[in-house]
Amino acid sequence: MSSVKIILRQKQNKDKTFPLAVRITSGRKASYMYIGQNIKETEWDEVNQRVKKSHPNSARLNNFLLTKLAEANDKLLELETKKDVVSAKTIKRQIRPTTGLTFFKQAEIYIENLKKSGRYNGVSADQPRIKRFREFLHGEDIAFEDITVALLNRYRNFLKAGKMVKDETIKMTERTIINHLIVIRSIYNHAIKEKIVDIKHYPFGKGGIKVKFPESIKVGLMPEEVKRIEDIVLKQDSFLNHARNVWLFSFYFAGMRVSDVLRLTWSDFQNDRLYYSMGKNAKAGSLKIPEKAANILLLYKGRDCKNDLVFPDLEVLEELSDPYEVQRKISYAVKRLDKYLAKVAGLAKIDKKLTMHIARHTFGNISGDRISIQMLQKLYRHSSVTTTIGYQTNFIHKDADEALDSVVSF
């Protein structure tokens, strides 16, 4: 037997009010749908499921509650007519909630889901993008149906115009603008999935806003530049030397992502091989330890580092079980490493940008077309060979160079 009831949830808000919710019970299991209204505990008549007259807006609020209760009961009756047993969650999904209908309410849920899944980088990148959209709307919330193609085009132009920071206009790249639009699209897609908005209003895709990244130019170091990094003399116990070691270690293992490098433990190394699963797509594999990488490992061997970590950058964490906290510390560590790598580049007389990510581009640049695409896919741990082809295209110039020479060399 299923039932629907209005209740006051015993989960106090910061302002000491409590949220009202529709409780849907089916098969002894309950599901709750918040309706976006909060009152004081003393203002609720639990027996009659009504707001007391002491509430300044009791009559209107009680009418609203009756409407939501009737809506829920109608949906329950409709579903039970079609099926003998209906779960509480199924009923909840079929009832269109009042709370969360607007974009920024759903944006809050989107960010919270990123946090729960441990995606610190996603949170730190997308929160400012959501804030920028709110600035464009002058701080107001907006219904999904009002996010039209015309509005998004105005928003694109708003982003292109840049932002004033200390009397200076900071311009956005096209890639950054696309990232701002992708966040809106992701939140909109979630709203469609939750039946908050009809897909007919969708402003993206065919006939709407097309979200496509511009082609980017990836530049890696040349072999002689890597050699200069290897050869510069640095103090053994300095952070400059540590930053150089981590960068080279990443490069020696086919441009291993820095997030994977910093999480490596000594137990990942067995029988002169490295065994690890890539954090981005969980693809597992093993590689022989190159001699140059083995020499770096010797510099860190015997250190008393928490959690069996090879490199000390994450030893501030008591444990590595919280993915969100791990990502957060990795982000801080990478910023510090990149800061010192810029100094390493200066000492090595390299005028290119040197960051941890450039280690991956450098491996791609030096490998060029010497290694088969299938082998590069394995080394890069790409899920699709198409990704490898697209990535490696940035570094294969031989055919184009020869074609050019064949015309202009006369």
For residues 352 and 220, what is the distance between their CA atoms, to the nearest angstrom? 8
Structural domain total, the chain: 3
Q: What is the pLDDT of residue 295?
A: 95
Do 348 and 258 belong together in one domain? yes
Residue 37 phi/psi, 5-degree rounding, is: -125, 140
Do 110 and 69 belong together in one domain? no
Do 240 and 144 belong together in one domain? no
Q: What is the pLDDT of residue 366?
A: 80
Do 128 and 38 belong together in one domain? no
Say if residues 147 and 209 touch (Cβ distance below 8 Å): no
> What are the beta bridge partners of residue 45?
50
What is the secondary structure of 79-114 as a DSSP string?
HHHH-S---HHHHHHHS--STT-BHHHHHHHHHHHH
For residues 183 and 188, what is the distance between their CA atoms, to the nearest angstrom? 9
Q: Which residues contact 110 (CB under 8 A, 6 or more apart)?
A: 126, 186, 187, 190
Identify the burial level of 140 via C-beta atoms within 10 angstroms of its C-beta, where 0-12 means exposed, 13-18 middle and 19 or more buried: exposed
Is the pLDDT at 98 greater than 50? The verdict is: no
Task: Please compute the mean of the pLDDT values over residues 281-297 and round it to a whole number.
Answer: 83
Residue 370 in any domain: the answer is yes
Do 176 and 58 belong together in one domain? no
Reported as a single tens digit per residue, the pLDDT across 113-158 is 999 889 999 999 999 999 999 999 999 888 888 899 999 999 999 9
Task: Please compute the mean of the pLDDT values over residues 59-79 and round it to a whole number.
Answer: 82
Say if residues 325 and 316 touch (Cβ distance below 8 Å): no
Residue 112 in any domain: the answer is yes
Reported as a single tens digit per residue, the pLDDT across 369-405 is 666 667 666 666 666 767 666 655 665 555 555 555 5
Say if residues 313 and 198 touch (Cβ distance below 8 Å): no
Do 29 and 12 belong together in one domain? yes
Residue 26 in any domain: the answer is yes
For residues 177 and 162, what is the distance between their CA atoms, to the nearest angstrom? 10
Is the pLDDT at 285 greater than 90? The verdict is: no
Residue 207 in any domain: the answer is no
Look up tokens 């009659």; give the residue.
48
Identify the burial level of 406 via C-beta atoms within 10 angstroms of its C-beta, where 0-12 means exposed, 13-18 middle and 19 or more buried: exposed
Q: Which of 201, 234, 249 is the last residue of a domain?
A: 201
Q: What is the pLDDT of residue 276?
A: 76
Residue 272 in any domain: the answer is yes
Q: What is the pLDDT of residue 410?
A: 60
Give the CATH number, domain containing residue 392. 1.10.443.10
Residue 406 in any domain: the answer is no
Q: What is the pLDDT of residue 235?
A: 95
Q: What is the pLDDT of residue 178?
A: 94
Residue 211 in any domain: the answer is no
For residues 112 and 106, what is the distance between their CA atoms, to the nearest angstrom? 10
Q: Which of 43, 66, 94 is the last residue of a domain?
A: 94
Do 313 and 380 belong together in one domain? yes
For residues 398 and 60, what is the distance between their CA atoms, to the nearest angstrom? 74
Beta strand 50-51 pairing with 29-39: unpaired
Q: What is the pLDDT of residue 371?
A: 67
pLDDT band for 220, please (50, 70, 90 cuts).
confident
pLDDT band for 23, please (50, 70, 90 cuts).
confident
Q: Which of 14-18, 36-40, 352-356 has the highest mean pLDDT?
A: 352-356
Picking from 249, 346, 253, the residue whose alpha carbon sits closest to that of residue 300 is 249
Do 36 and 165 belong together in one domain? no
Residue 170 phi/psi, 5-degree rounding, is: -95, 115
Picking from 252, 260, 278, 265, the residue whose alpha carbon sits closest to that of residue 387 is 278
Q: Which residues contact 348 (CB under 8 A, 6 or more apart)?
A: 225, 228, 229, 232
Q: What is the pLDDT of residue 355?
A: 94
Q: What is the pLDDT of residue 395?
A: 56
Do 370 and 260 belong together in one domain? yes
For residues 158 and 171, what is the distance between their CA atoms, to the nearest angstrom? 11
pLDDT band for 4, please (50, 70, 90 cuts).
confident
H or E element that contains 370: none
Do 46 and 155 belong together in one domain? no
Q: Which of 48, 64, 94 is the last residue of a domain?
A: 94
H or E element that contains 137: none
Amino acid, single-letter form, for residue 113: N
- How many percent of the chain have pLDDT more than 70? 82
Residue 217 in any domain: the answer is no
CA distances from 110 to 117, 130, 154, 160, 399 (A): 11, 10, 24, 25, 46
Q: What is the pLDDT of residue 314?
A: 94
Q: What is the pLDDT of residue 282?
A: 57
Do 377 and 240 belong together in one domain? yes
Q: Which of 31-40, 203-212, 245-254 has the highest mean pLDDT?
A: 245-254
Do 252 and 351 belong together in one domain? yes
For residues 101 and 175, what is the distance between their CA atoms, to the nearest angstrom? 29
**Interior angle at CA 266, CA 265 and CA 272, nearest 5:** 125
* Parent domain of 40: 3-94
